[in-house]
């Protein structure tokens, strides 16, 4: 086991007994929404996973230790400290461990730590991707590279709508990452169900998706699989409203000269303001929806692996 890794006793027991486990990121707690809503949401996601018959493992870095599974007290600590905590991508991991500091895990670092711990499934809101204007800025999320190299299945509502979705799909194709649409052949656009872009495969049951993952694992193919799960219809936002808010937020981002890891938190917060909080409500509901699906896939995968 990695010398920097601490696996929560409940998670460790579940993995040893072959029970389904679902990883969760911690950036959504520290940078995704204000306290105490962030803590309430994080605990609700864990509750949903338990109700579906799986064990939640919220991933984070605390005091230089890689944590696979947090206690409610640790989640509360993360929620209160909020944006004071470093948003940790792959390049930050060694430095945070060496300095004994805290880090909120992104999709990238959650995948890395989940894989170290032996966790196969990860539920999140949306992945990072190719940013708009990347042909000149080269701003491409490390999440895509991690999906190409780390064998963890990621369940999300698509790439974040603030990104260039077409180029994100092209990047994933180039790196051999299968993109699955749950119940749809169309890539969900995070806040809404439609993007007009096509994914690689439509699959209609958790069992079907679990079989794909098992086949990829058995074949010894490197890299993960991206499962895109459309936001529930009742929480889907009007395309015109959300796109107008995103365009305005991106213009303000450019005017302020914000770039790099600060881009996504700024854009999501600004879109929330411009939509009167509707985008945050949608964000929370899609995370809940993804946690349910990831739990069902995890259960099906465990059954196949017996």
| DSSP structural state of residue 188 | P
Question: Cis before residue 36, ω within 30 degrees of 0?
Answer: yes
Given 160, 261, 272, 299, the catalytic residue: 160
Rounded Cα distance between 297 and 21, Å, is 10
First-to-last CA distance in the chain?
23
Dig out the tokens for 256 from the structure.
């302020």
Beta bridge partners of 22: 56, 121
121 backbone dihedrals φ, ψ, rounded to 5°: -115, 145
Active site residue 25: yes
Regarding beta strands 86-88 and 103-105, do their DSSP bridges make them parallel or antiparallel, or are they unpaired?
Answer: parallel
Rounded Cα distance between 27 and 53, Å, is 25
- What one-character-per-residue DSSP string does 189-220 give? BTTBS--S-B-SEEE-SHHHHHHHHHHHHHTT
Q: Of 85, 80, 8, which is closest to residue 39 (Cα–Cα)?
A: 80
Separation in Å, CA 167 to CA 26, 126, 171, 303 = 26, 16, 6, 36
Active site residue 233: no
Q: Are 187 and 158 in contact (CB under 8 A)?
A: yes
| 3-class DSSP state of 58 | strand
Q: What residues are annotated to the active site?
A: 25, 160
């Amino acid at each position: 086991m990695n010398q920097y890794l601490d696996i929560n006793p409940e998670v460790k027991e579940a993995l040893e007994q072959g029970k389904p486990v679902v990883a969760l990121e911690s950036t959504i707690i520290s940078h995704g929404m204000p306290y105490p809503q962030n803590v309430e949401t994080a605990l609700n996601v864990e509750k949903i996973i338990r109700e579906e018959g799986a064990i939640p493992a919220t991933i984070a870095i605390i005091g230089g230790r890689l944590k696979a599974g947090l206690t409610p007290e640790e989640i509360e600590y993360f929620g209160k400290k909020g944006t004071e905590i470093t948003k940790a991508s792959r390049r930050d991991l060694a430095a945070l461990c060496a300095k004994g500091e805290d880090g909120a895990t992104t999709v990238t670092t959650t995948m890395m730590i989940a894989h170290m711990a032996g966790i196969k499934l990860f539920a999140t809101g949306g992945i990072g991707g190719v940013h708009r204007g990347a042909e000149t800025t080269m701003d491409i999320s490390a999440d895509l590279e991690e999906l190409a190299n780390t064998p963890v299945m990621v369940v999300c509502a698509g790439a974040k709508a603030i990104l260039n979705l077409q180029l994100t799909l092209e990047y994933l194709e180039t790196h051999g990452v299968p993109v699955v649409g749950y119940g749809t052949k169309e890539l969900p656009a995070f806040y809404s169900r439609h993007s007009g872009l096509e994914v690689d495969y439509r699959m209609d049951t958790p069992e079907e998706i679990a079989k794909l993952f098992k086949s990829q694992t058995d074949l010894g193919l490197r890299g993960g699989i991206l499962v895109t799960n459309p936001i529930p219809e009742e929480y889907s936002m009007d395309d015109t409203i959300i796109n107008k808010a995103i365009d305005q937020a991106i213009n303000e981002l450019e005017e302020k000269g914000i770039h790099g890891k600060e881009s996504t938190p700024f854009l999501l917060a600004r879109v929330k303001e411009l939509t009167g909080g509707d985008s945050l409500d949608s964000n929370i509901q899609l995370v809940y929806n993804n946690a349910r699906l990831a739990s069902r896939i995890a259960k099906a995968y465990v059954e196949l692996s017996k």
